[in-house]
Structure 1
């Protein structure tokens, strides 16, 4: 087997040569996911500072071992790491890479993630679920077996289901109905969080969401898991539905496990598209994001600039309302070309409303300005720029 060496963060690993990153490759290193791993290192590092005791980490889908090796070598608060994989070749390569980096606090196990979680109940402070596809079949084991106060880091790459391209897989895997819209990636994260919250609730546990993002082909959430029946019940109050009008872009939200939303838009009479159940609570913790950004300089991260840009965007939008507007979508409904987004943002701020850009979409604006006022503002800006004769 031909191999080559890769340096990332503070570790160097040996990986097999392969033509293309895909699920069919026996074992691969995905350079595109370096930002994902940098974010995870930064967040787990900040979490370790918060809990102020040595932590144990479970990397459920180890592959080459790059993620587990980085956790062990780069995060001072990590005492031990278990790397799991069902692929014997991956286990062999990961074990070799741990020796290559002199990591005697990392164990590599050949087994299914669910079995490893069940056989190590309550031993892990951090559980990282980063599968190729959906995390759905590993969520209940994670919920049942993570230590109370522990951190879950969960990725999903089945964005076509979560974003509404295919409805049936989302219903089957997450027990929710999606819809396609300009904010479908945000909806996907909210559907995923509601699914995780319901799995935790079975075990009288609940979420404290720290950070979430949608980047490239995947979505990822980070949350602390707490225990307590009363607070679990209160946490479920964050679950509900969103109704979206594809014609005029009006939207409504409804809390609860049964939608009380009308079937038609009250503004234009068109049929609503309704998605849920999904998480309608916060998907970011502003204070945690700031603390994480402040501690990034202590780490050696190749993607530090990209990480800080993403964190800054999420920090700015963290206290905004559920969902955002796409200026191009609004202008399409108005049958006008789009003005400069910064002109619109400045005017929204001048009127005293919340306003931020969003990392979910380059042309997105997160604001609590009523939609009718926002549409009129855009029209007014166009008329001021082009003149009333246009």
Structure 2
């Protein structure tokens, strides 16, 4: 078998040569996910700084071992990083990569991810679930395993389901109906967040989301775990639905598991498209993201500029309401050309509304201004 060497962050590993990234590769490694791993290192480094003790980390789907190896090498205060994978070749290769990087705080196991998490209940501060496809079958075990004060990191690459291209798989896997529209990636991320919260709530645990993003073909969430029936019940009040009007682009958030949702849009009378249940609360903690931004200069990253650009956008939108407006979509409705985005944002700010760009869409803005006001601003700027 031919091998190639890969360099990321402070580590060098070898992986089997393969023509195409897929689950059929001898050992799974996805070069496109380097940014994901860079951000993960920054997030876990920030998490470690907030703790008063060294941390233990579980990478439940180790593959080549690069994620767990990077955690142990690039984050100070990691007492133990455990890399698990069911593939025997991946396990052997990970052991070799650990040796080549001269690490003594990384252990390797070969087990089914669910079985391993159940057996290691309460032993990890951080559980990272980054499978090929949906994380849904493994969240229950992570919820049972993680103790209060821990952190759950989850990646989903089945964006076609979460974003509404295939609705039935989303309903089947996440127990929620998606929407296929201009802000479907945010809706999908909120469906994933809501699924995590509902699953953890069975164990009287709740989640406090620190950082979340939708990038390229995947979605990623980082959340702290809290415990207690009362706080969990209060957290679940952030579940709800998003009603979207496909005709006039109006949208409204309805909180609660069974809220009274009108059948038609109050603005134009069109029948609503409804997504949910999903998470209607915050997907970011601005203080946590600011900490990640401050950490980045310390890290040796190939994609540092991309990471910083993403974090800055997420920081700006961290306190914004759910959903965003795609200015090009609004302008198509108005049958006009789109004015400069910054000009629209400045006009909205001058009227006292909050507004920010969003990492979900380069043409999107998050604002508490109503749609009819945004349209008025666009028309006024279009006439200039």
TM class by shorter chain equals over 0.9
Q: Distance in 1 between matches of 2:124 and 2:222?
A: 15
Q: Distance in 2 between matches of 1:164 and 1:275?
A: 9
Aligned to 1:141: 141
SS of aligned partner of 2:282: coil
Aligned to 1:318: 318
Q: Distance in 2 between matches of 1:179 and 1:8?
A: 36
Aligned to 1:151: 151
Q: Distance in 1 between matches of 2:73 and 2:240?
A: 41
SS of aligned partner of 2:180: coil
Deviates more, 1:287-296 or 1:183-192: 287-296
Aligned to 1:233: 233
What RMSD over aligned residues (CA atoms) do the two structures have, in Å?
A: 0.8
Aligned to 2:170: 170
Aligned to 1:388: none
Aligned to 1:184: 184
Aligned pair count reads 384
User: Aligned runs of 1:1-390 on 2, under 5 Å?
Assistant: 1-384=1-384
Deviates more, 1:18-27 or 1:239-248: 18-27
Q: Can you list the C-alpha shifts for 1:222-257, whole angstroms capped at 9, x where unaligned? A: 000011110000000000001000110011111111
Cα deviation for residue 84 of structure 1 reads 0.6
Q: Distance in 2 between matches of 1:283 and 1:28?
A: 29
Q: Distance in 2 between matches of 1:82 and 1:343?
A: 50
SS of aligned partner of 1:313: helix
SS of aligned partner of 1:173: helix
- Asked if 2 retains the 8 angstrom alpha-carbon contact of 1:18 and 1:28, the reply is no
Q: Can you list the C-alpha shifts for 1:88-132, whole angstroms capped at 9, x where unaligned? A: 111111111111111121111111111110111100000000011
Q: Can you list the C-alpha shifts for 1:185-209, whole angstroms capped at 9, x where unaligned? A: 0011110111100111100000010
Task: Classify 1:341/1:168 alpha carbon distance in 2 versus 1 (closer, same or farther; 3 Å).
Answer: same
Q: Distance in 2 between matches of 1:180 and 1:321?
A: 19
Q: Can you list the C-alpha shifts for 1:136-167, whole angstroms capped at 9, x where unaligned? A: 00000000111211011000000011001111
Q: Distance in 1 between matches of 2:380 and 2:14?
A: 59
Q: Distance in 2 between matches of 1:148 and 1:319?
A: 25
SS of aligned partner of 1:51: coil
Q: Distance in 2 between matches of 1:299 and 1:154?
A: 22
Instruction: List runs of 5+ in structure 1 lacking aligned partners.
Output: 385-390
Deviates more, 1:291-300 or 1:36-45: 291-300
- Asked if 2 retains the 8 angstrom alpha-carbon contact of 1:84 and 1:110, the reply is yes
Moved runs in structure 1, 4+ residues, more than 2 A?
Answer: none
Q: Distance in 1 between matches of 2:6 and 2:336?
A: 50
- Asked if 2 retains the 8 angstrom alpha-carbon contact of 1:252 and 1:261, the reply is no
SS of aligned partner of 1:362: strand
Q: Distance in 1 between matches of 2:383 and 2:4?
A: 60
Q: Distance in 1 between matches of 2:380 and 2:72?
A: 56
Q: Distance in 2 between matches of 1:158 and 1:54?
A: 34
Q: Can you list the C-alpha shifts for 1:263-301, whole angstroms capped at 9, x where unaligned? A: 111111111100000000000000111111112222222
SS of aligned partner of 1:62: coil
Q: Distance in 2 between matches of 1:339 and 1:207?
A: 40
SS of aligned partner of 2:311: helix
Q: Distance in 2 between matches of 1:303 and 1:316?
A: 20
SS of aligned partner of 1:311: helix
SS of aligned partner of 2:50: helix
Q: Distance in 1 between matches of 2:10 and 2:90?
A: 21
